[in-house]
Amino acid sequence: MELKFCPCCARPLTRRLLGGRERLACPEPACGWVFWDNPAPVVAALVERGDHVILVNNKQWPPNWWGLVTGFLEHGEDPEEAVVREVAEELGLEAELVGLIGVYGFPQQNQVIMAYHLRLPEGEIALNEELTGYKAIPVERLKAWDSATGRAVADWLARRRAGAAPNQG
Ligand SMILES: [Zn+2]
């Protein structure tokens, strides 16, 4: 769905070249609103427990697609708070933040993914309604996939194999 009207003054938006790209913008000079379409920040959690990594299936994903716990930042939240909150909401346990894996562009979804490594304590996993299930994959069988979160998994695995990970505390 494309925006048609200015959210500030309700005039029909027009296309204008700004900052080297064509953008939807308000033609009213006194308003000047521009739809920049900036990517949304998303946090992703590589959740480790023992020698396993927890992958989840979200209801909005294909049934056989397993990935990291992810979620949007909320207003006023630090990414580190957001990723701990997301894991608590989706898996029902308070995880320990180990460190940042990396930051990855995800242009297909117009997102920027901030991927963190967390450790899940013992205890029963209680999935929330966003998820259909989870899998505990032994780390030695974990394979990265071809997307922004997959690149985070690849980086995490590579650092782990190199044995020089600054956030394997
Ligand atoms: Zn306007």
Could you tell me the residue ranges of all domains in the chain?
1-37, 40-162
Q: How far is the CA of 163 from the centre of ligand 1 (A)?
A: 54
What's the CA gap between 157 and 65, in Å, rounded? Answer: 20
Neighbours of ion ligand 1 (CB under 5 A): 6, 8-9, 26, 28, 31, 33
pLDDT of 15? 96
pTM of full prediction above 0.85: yes
Q: How far is the CA of 31 from the centre of ligand 1 (A)?
A: 5
Mean pLDDT of the region 57-82: 95
Q: How far is the CA of 35 from the centre of ligand 1 (A)?
A: 10
**Closest alpha carbon to 26 in 34, 18, 36:** 34
- In CATH, the number for domain 40-162 is 3.90.79.10
pLDDT > 90? residue 166: no
pLDDT of 4? 94
pLDDT > 90? residue 32: yes
